[in-house]
Amino acid sequence: MKFSTAALLAALTVFTLGCGYGSNYSGNMVAGAPNIMRLAPNAVAAGTQGLRLTVDGSGFASNAVVFWAGMAQPTTFVTANQLMAAIPASQIAFPATIQVYVRSSNRNSNTMNFMVN
Q: Looking at the domain assignment, is residue 18 inside a domain?
A: no
34 upstream amide cis, omega within 30 of 0: no
Entry pTM: 0.74
Are 47 and 93 within 8 A, CB to CB? yes
Q: Looking at the domain assignment, is residue 105 inside a domain?
A: yes
Note the pLDDT of residue 24. 45
Mean pLDDT by 10 residues, the chain (117 residues): 44 38 47 91 95 97 97 98 98 97 96 98
Note the pLDDT of residue 30. 56
Number of domains in the chain: 1
Are 50 and 74 within 8 A, CB to CB? no
Note the pLDDT of residue 72. 98
Q: Looking at the domain assignment, is residue 1 inside a domain?
A: no
Q: Looking at the domain assignment, is residue 86 inside a domain?
A: yes
Single out the residue of 105, 100, 106 nearest to residue 85, CA to CA. Answer: 100
Note the pLDDT of residue 32. 76
Residue ranges making up the domain that contains 75 = 24-116
